[in-house]
Amino acid sequence: MHLEIVNPEQVLLSEDVSSVSVPGINGEFQMLDNHAPVVSVLKKGSIKVDQSVNLPKHVKDKFYQSDGKYCFDISGGVIELNDNKVIILVD
């Protein structure tokens, strides 16, 4: 599936991933390839993607590694998953 993480200034990440975990308002949840459509509000926490992703140079310093995942801390946002494309808008 294709993942885009976007903030008001730039596209932080636009890569194919096998899974992504996000901090939903009712708890963390994970999406895999061919997941059912989702729209959700996100709370403060971390977006987690598998380490097979090639992080662009301009955002490598914004991610950190934890438990075999690349993590990106957010203060909140919105996620939409449809047709195997995930778009995360972050604050």
Confidence check: pLDDT of 52 > 90: no
- Per mean pLDDT, which range of 12-16, 38-42, 56-60, 75-79 is the poorest? 56-60
Longest dimension (CA), the chain: 33
**Against a cut of 0.85, is the pTM above it?**
yes
- For domain 2-90, the question of CATH label 2.60.15.10 is answered with yes
DSSP per-residue letters across 64-82: EEETTEEEEEES-EEEEEE
Cα–Cα dist 62/15, whole Å: 16
- pLDDT higher than threshold 90 for residue 58: no
The mean per-residue pLDDT over the stretch 18-46 comes to 95
- Domain residue spans of the chain: 2-90
